[in-house]
């Protein structure tokens, strides 16, 4: 099938932008592990640097990376993609493209720690102005806009509070003020949410997470809705040098083939685990947009195809009990990151979000007792058993400690 743009989600993931290698017929995209490309003559070299089709130098473009860019761009309904060496490289290329010394950014107050702290610690050095707001209440976004706001930047679901922002309404608000809307779609993955279809201008991904899915690659991607925006970002991205290595691209191409299967299974596990935790007497609270009593359950259903595979919760006994819990798991791995085939558990306040100032962290809802579990594809019963025994240890030791 040449055009899979109207095919079902799994077909699009497996075949989108892919074709057998024109030179050899290889079904799996070869790794074009080369830094540069020979020109047949001076005219061809000059033509390629003048804009003609064809590769020049891997930092500027590579066939293996291009195959992945076509694939993710198709999944995100964008005009094209730019592979990045990491999620942070993708995010910084977007920031750098649109933020200069006269610019202002409105960003969601709850997002992956470094996506926020890099703005606060580095971009302020160049005079960039910024306002962080709880974007789940869109009035906050509207109020924060200034005449020089160039970019509205949101993460939805947000890391780690899973707070959602209404993408379509946020896009209208940003566009009304002449700003672009960029969305970090890492937590949902293109399988569950497509911000460009809802009106966003740019999507960024940490492909380290669900897209690659095997906890063996760090990678990122930028997708834009319009060519002009993509080309502006491309100029910055290739000169900053945050582009992808072809071997990295090949690994992600391999991982992404099972994106739909993995997300479906991990989400099923997450849903069951959220209900289990909600019923557990030692669990103080559970936050998962798939729970029908979650305050943003309706928004989740409106803009996502499912709630995803991350669950947050607090253990009775607070921070100390939570720490004992993450020390006690045996099947889940105590590690940061998410979206892999295996279940990972972490404590955002002391790990992924430790760099965010205490007051700002608490204001964003990242409380000290918050435990984040990134649910994987193991057998559900084994995951439940593991959490059951860890909860028991966390709370029994608390009682023993109190004696």
Catalytically annotated residues? 59, 112, 184, 209
Contact (Cβ atoms closer than 8 angstroms) between residue 124 and residue 82 = no
Q: How far is the CB of 335 from ligand LCS (least distance, A)?
A: 8
Residue in 103, 151, 145 with CA at minimum distance from that of residue 124: 103
Residue in 351, 352, 370 with CA at minimum distance from that of residue 362: 370
Contacts of 138 (CB under 8 A, 6+ apart): 165, 166, 169, 170, 173
Cα–Cα separations (whole angstroms), residue 311 to 47, 195, 270, 308, 321: 52, 22, 7, 9, 17
Distance between CA atoms of residues 278 and 274, nearest Å: 6
Number of H helices, E strands in the chain: 14, 12
Distance between CA atoms of residues 262 and 343, nearest Å: 12
Site for ligand LCS in 12-51 (CB under 6 A): none
- The backbone region for 327, taken as left when phi is positive above 0, alpha when psi lies in -120 to 50, beta otherwise, is alpha
Q: Which of 76, 184, 264, 369 binds ligand LCS (CB under 6 A)?
A: 184
Options 67-75, 132-140, 180-188, 307-315: segment touching ligand LCS (CB under 6 A): 180-188
Contact (Cβ atoms closer than 8 angstroms) between residue 196 and residue 223 = yes
Beta strands in 37-167 (DSSP E): 80-84, 104-108, 129-133, 149-155
261 interacts with ligand LCS by CB under 6 A: no
Site for ligand LCS in 263-302 (CB under 6 A): none
Q: Which of 155, 166, 245, 264 binds ligand LCS (CB under 6 A)?
A: 155
177 interacts with ligand LCS by CB under 6 A: no
Q: How far is the CB of 36 from ligand LCS (least distance, A)?
A: 26
161 interacts with ligand LCS by CB under 6 A: no
Binding mask 325-344 for ligand LCS (x = CB under 6 A): -----------xxx------
189 interacts with ligand LCS by CB under 6 A: no
Using CB under 6 A as the binding criterion, the count of chain residues that bind ligand LCS stands at 18
Q: How far is the CB of 233 from ligand LCS (least distance, A)?
A: 16
The residue among 134 and 184 lying less far from ligand LCS, judged by its C-beta, is 184
The residue among 75 and 145 lying less far from ligand LCS, judged by its C-beta, is 75
The residue among 18 and 193 lying less far from ligand LCS, judged by its C-beta, is 193
Residues that bind ligand LCS (CB under 6 A): 86-88, 112, 115, 155, 159, 184, 186-187, 206, 208, 218, 220, 336-338, 352
């Amino acid at each position: 099938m040449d055009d899979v743009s109207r095919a079902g989600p799994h077909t699009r993931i497996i075949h989108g932008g892919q074709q057998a290698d024109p030179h050899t017929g290889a079904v799996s995209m070869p790794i074009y592990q080369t830094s540069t490309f020979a020109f047949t003559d001076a005219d061809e070299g000059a033509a390629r640097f003048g804009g003609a089709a064809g590769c020049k130098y891997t930092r500027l473009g590579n066939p293996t990376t291009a195959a992945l860019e076509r694939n993710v761009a198709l999944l995100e309904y964008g005009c094209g993609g730019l592979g990045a060496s990491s999620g942070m490289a993708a995010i910084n290329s977007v920031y750098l493209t649109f933020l200069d010394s006269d610019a202002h950014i409105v960003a969601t107050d709850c997002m992956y720690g470094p996506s926020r702290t890099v703005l606060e610690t580095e971009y302020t050095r160049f005079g960039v102005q910024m306002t962080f707001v709880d974007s789940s209440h869109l009035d906050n976004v509207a109020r924060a806009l200034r005449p020089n706001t160039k970019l509205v930047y949101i993460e939805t679901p947000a890391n780690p509070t899973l707070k959602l922002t209404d993408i379509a309404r946020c896009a209208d608000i940003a566009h009304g003020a002449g700003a672009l809307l960029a969305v970090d779609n890492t937590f949902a993955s293109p399988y569950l949410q497509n911000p460009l279809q809802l009106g966003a201008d740019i999507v960024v991904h940490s492909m380290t997470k669900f897209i690659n899915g095997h906890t063996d690659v760090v990678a990122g991607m930028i997708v834009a809705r319009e060519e002009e925006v993509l080309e502006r970002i491309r100029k910055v991205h290739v000169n900053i040098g945050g582009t992808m290595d072809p071997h990295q691209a090949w690994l992600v191409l391999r991982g992404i083939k099972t994106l739909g299967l993995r997300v479906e299974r991990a989400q099923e596990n997450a849903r069951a685990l959220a209900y289990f935790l909600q019923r557990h007497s030692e669990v103080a609270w559970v936050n998962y947009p798939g729970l029908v009593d979650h305050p943003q359950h309706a928004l989740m259903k409106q803009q996502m195809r499912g709630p995803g595979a991350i669950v947050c919760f607090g253990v009775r006994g607070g921070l100390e009990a939570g720490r004992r819990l993450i020390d006690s798991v045996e099947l889940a791995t105590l590690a940061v990151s998410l979206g892999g085939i295996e279940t990972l558990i972490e404590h955002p306040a002391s790990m992924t979000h430790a760099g965010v100032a205490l007051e700002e962290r608490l204001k964003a809802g990242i409380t000290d007792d918050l435990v984040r579990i990134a649910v994987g594809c193991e057998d559900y019963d084994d995951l439940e058993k593991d959490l059951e025994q860890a909860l028991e240890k966390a709370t029994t030791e608390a009682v023993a400690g109190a004696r």
